Amino acid sequence: MKRHLLDAADLDRADATLVLDTAAQIDQALAGREVKKLPTLRGRTVVNLFYEDSTRTRISFELAAKRLSADVINFSAKGSSVSKGESLKDTALTLEAMGSDAIVVRHGASGAPHRLAHWVRGSVVNAGDGTHEHPTQALLDAYTIRHRLGRLDGVRVVIVGDVLHSRVARSNVWLLSTLGAEVTLVAPPTLLPVGVGSWPVEVSYDLDAVLPKADAVMMLRVQAERMNASFFPSAREYSRRYGLDAHRMAALSGEAIVMHPGPMNRGMEIAADVADSVRSTIVEQVGNGVSVRMAVLYLLLGGASS
Amino acid sequence: MTTLIIKGARVLGGQPADLLLQDGRIAAVGERLSATGADVLDAGGLVALPGLVDLHTHLREPGREDAETVETGSRAAALGGYTAVHAMANTDPVADTAGVVEQVWRLGQQAGLVDVVPVGAVTVGLKGERLAELGAMADSAARVRVFSDDGHCVADPALMRRALEYVKAFDGVVAQHAEEPRLTVGAQMNEGDLSARLGLTGWPAAAEEAVIARDVLLAEHVGARLHVCHVSTAGSVEILRWAKSRGVRVTAEVTPHHLLLTEACAGSYDPVFKVNPPLRTDADVAAVRSGVADGTIDAVATDHAPHAVEDKESEWAQARPGMLGLEQALPVVVETLVEPGLLDWAGVADRMSVRPAAIGRLTGHGRPLVPGEPANLLLLDPAARAVVDPAALASRSRNSPYAGRELPGRVVATFLRGTATVLDGKAQK
């Protein structure tokens, strides 16, 4: 493993597989244990530096670090020196001076973790940067697919929704194609980036046409602020054309799964009965997130002794 | 005033000749010149060019003297071979009144390193709502002829039309920052494959090209002069070529960085490469180079944009756009146009001195190096190569996109009306 985890695009097949295999080993090691804790990162300090609200990702990283016995500091941009105008660089250097070994950063600006990695000696983990990437989300999604379907090679994954603004979609495109999956993006043309043609994916505007062949369907959250910016005429029209309801779900083949990175807009991109169906892996994804993030922190900080 | 003989300089790259500078003018050009009491400067192997004229410089004074002042920017300009620079209007306060343009002009006179020619804002406060007092700026001591809201586009087509018409009264020109603002909300870099991958909001080429297309039609309709700032796309070059073929009175400039660098620089997320308009693709770079070569693009203009460290040492989206240019403009032109054979030295003089001076209606600059003309010139060592070290620049800021890059050509001396502002590569004050 490299020193940082900044983008999924940067992960080669061997490193990505190592993360997934390590997560599986961690799951096995902890299965059935009363005390779900490993001593691996005792004495190491992990800082969660969150410039955006993200309860689930922050808690997931916090739990992952604590289960590896690391000391965890949560640094939220609200109510901190950041709101007094401190720069990202000064914040990073301050945290490092306090002895942080890894900084897990969530930031609204694409590339902020890359800048951070220039300024600190410790490891940087990208926990979501702007509209760029969210690599641990893609790793946990890949882990979930592999766990449910038993493989990634040749698996047909359909990613539906606001690809243009989605860091989850970007990370999944790179990681899943690295791991041999066949990715199809489905969205209204307004929500696909100019330049999507150079990505290793198929593109479709027609959800109904691609569903029968899908092994996994990943629904992306539609942000409220897109509603009034002419990306699509109305929430209802979006939902009719690109939402996954029970009727559409019936077109899926036997063991196909339905995924969502959360938080969901029930009734918008995903219907409630779909989210709660047996095909849904949404709750499983959350649990897998902790294991995958443990694997990432272990591999970055614990040394790649495996 | 001193008398100086420059020995053996190659005027516009031609055969070695001597130049006698006397009383601020070129007194003689020829072989084996001599004059009693004259200092002698050996210019063997050096190319003599008319002093460069920049149509597009941000000197930041008044308002952001921590980033640049008229004096430090003038020094950077002189070291780059310039004898005149147009100082853009987006200062604080904005140069939208006779008072501010006269202040900038006076500061330039005091610094005495180059002629600082203020650009006046087109609209009050650069807000794009109503015309600034263009006539008052034209009539002021600063004698403003170039008007620009640079940094902002004069987006309102009716207001742009009125501005183009109005400045005809004093032979002015509107220098347009061509950027349709509704197409570039939140834009961070060129829109295309790379922006999609980096997750940075795209700045589409069409946002520049649409405004240029509109403005050349307006300029044609009202018979006015239009100048297009920092042309960055292949499509813009095509539109300009078409407009010129129709006889539209349009001129255009390209920056050194758009001649050399591409959007690939954004891949590092290092905001030193963030600029507006953004760095484009290889195809765009090739198109603007050939545009300069065939004269579709009239001028190389720096868009020298100093920024304080804290405005660049940040996340990409938070950083201010802009990069330094004055001290490396000529080396970049040598690298991108002269060495590949796209432009000879006469062409360099034309695009960096003669035509910019004509666009700005500067009578004392961009003149041929012949007897009787003002002694505004530079001596360049085309064989020298140097690695750019931002810490060694005269600019008060350090945001050079060329840091660590080796570039050809070293400005050995610059003369402003016969007085050396730079000698042996060092500023004389």
- Render the burial of A77-87: b for 16+ CB within 10 Å, e for the rest: beeeebeeeee
> How many residues are recorded in chain B?
429
Nearest-by-Cβ selection for B196 from A115, A130, A194: A194
Predicted pLDDT of residue B381: 98
Q: Which residues are CB-neighbours of B65 under 8 A, at least 6 positions away?
A: none
Q: What is the pLDDT of residues A74-127, one digit of tens each?
A: 988 765 666 667 899 999 999 999 999 999 999 999 999 999 999 999 999 999
The pLDDT score that the predictor gives to residue B2 is 78
With CA atoms as reference, the chain B residue closest to A129 would be B199
Spatial distance between the Cα atoms of B271 and B275, rounded to a whole number of angstroms: 8
- The answer to whether the CB atoms of A131 and B201 lie below 8 A apart is yes
Considering only CB atoms, which chain A residues are within 8 Å of B201?
A: 131
User: CA nearest A295: which of A5, A11, A26, A13?
Assistant: A26
pLDDT for A304 equals 41
Does the distance separating the beta carbons of B191 and A115 come in below 8 Å?
A: no
Q: Is the dihedral of CA B187, B188, B189, B193 positive or negative?
A: negative
Residues of B with a catalytic annotation lie at 303
Residue B415: per-residue pLDDT? 98
Q: Read off the tokens for B198.
A: 């980096």
Q: Check residue A246 and give its pLDDT.
A: 96
- Give me the residue from B193, B198, B202 closest to A111, CB to CB: B198
Q: What are the pLDDT digits (tens) for A26-63? A: 999 998 888 889 999 999 999 999 999 888 999 999 99
The Cα–Cα gap between B332 and B411 comes to: 12
CA distances from A101 to A89, A96, A128, B146 (A): 16, 7, 19, 55
CA–CA dist A178, A11 (Å, integer): 8
Q: What share of chain B is helix, strand, coil (3-state, %, to 5)?
A: 35, 25, 45
Report whether A16 contacts A41 (CB < 8 A).
Answer: no
Residue B300: closest CA among B257, B262, B264: B257
Global ipTM:
0.93
Phi, psi dihedral angles at B268 (to 5 degrees): -80, -10
Q: Which two tokens stand for residue B67?
A: 């980033």
pLDDT at A302: 82
Identify which of B53, B52, B133, B46 has the alpha carbon closest to the alpha carbon of residue B89: B133
Cα–Cα distance between B175 and B57 in angstroms, integer? Answer: 13
List active site positions of A.
56-57, 84, 106, 134
Q: Is the pLDDT of residue A303 over 80?
A: no
A116, A124 in Cβ contact below 8 A?
yes
CA-nearest residue of chain A to B268?
A114
The burial class, CB within 10 Å (0-12 / 13-18 / 19+), for B30 is: exposed
End-to-end Cα separation, chain B, in angstroms? 16
User: What is the Cα Rg of chain A in Å?
Assistant: 19
CB B292 within 8 A of CB B342: yes
Respond yes or no on whether the N-terminal peptide bond of residue A189 is cis (omega within 30° of 0).
Answer: no
Residue A225 has pLDDT above 80, yes or no: no
Q: Which residues contact A276 (CB under 8 A, 6 or more apart)?
A: none
pLDDT of residue A85: 78
Are B366 and B53 spatial neighbours (Cβ–Cβ below 8 Å)? yes
Residues of B in contact with A197 (CB under 8 A): 193
CB contact under 8 A, B310 and A87: yes
Tell if the CB–CB gap between A194 and B315 is shorter than 8 Å. Answer: no
Nearest to A115 among B201, B204, B315 (CB): B315
Q: What is the pLDDT of residues A137-193, one digit of tens each?
A: 999 999 999 999 999 999 999 999 999 999 999 999 999 999 999 999 999 999 999
Q: Are the C-beta atoms of residues A257 and A217 closer than 8 Å to each other?
A: yes
Q: Does B183 touch chain A (CB under 8 A)?
A: no
Which pLDDT score is estimated for A118?
93
CA distance B106 to B277: 30
Reduce the DSSP state of residue A95 to 3 states and report it: helix
DSSP H helical segments within A2-71, as ranges?
A: 13-30, 55-67
d(CA B55, CA B52) in angstroms, rounded, equals 10
pTM: 0.95
Per-residue pLDDT, B1? 59
Annotated binding site of B for substrate: 58-60, 90, 276, 307, 321-322
Q: What rounded mean pLDDT belongs to chain A?
A: 94
Q: Are A169 and A163 in contact (CB under 8 A)?
A: yes
Name, in order, each residue with C-beta under 8 angstroms of B313's C-beta and a sequence gap of 6 or more.
A87, A89, B271
Distance of alpha carbon A196 from alpha carbon A185, whole angstroms: 9
Predicted pLDDT of residue A306: 35
pLDDT exceeds cutoff 60 at A73: yes
Q: What integer pLDDT is reported at residue A106 of this predicted model?
A: 96
Read off the DSSP letter of residue A34.
S
The list of chain B residues with pLDDT below 70 reads 1
Q: Which residue has the tokens 């973790």?
A: A113
> Tokens 């041999």 — which residue?
A180
Note whether A195 contacts B197, CB cutoff 8 Å: yes
| Cβ B193 vs Cβ B187: under 8 Å | no
Q: What is the dihedral of CA A12, A15, A20, A22, to 10 degrees?
A: 180
The token pair at B77 is 């300009």
Nearest Cα to Cα of residue B119 among B137, B106, B141, B139: B137
Chain centre to alpha carbon of residue B135:
24
Quick one: pLDDT at residue B175?
98
CA distance A191 to A178: 24
Query: Do B132 and B163 contact (CB within 8 A), yes or no?
Result: no
* Separation between Cα atoms, residue B312 and residue B306, nearest integer Å: 10
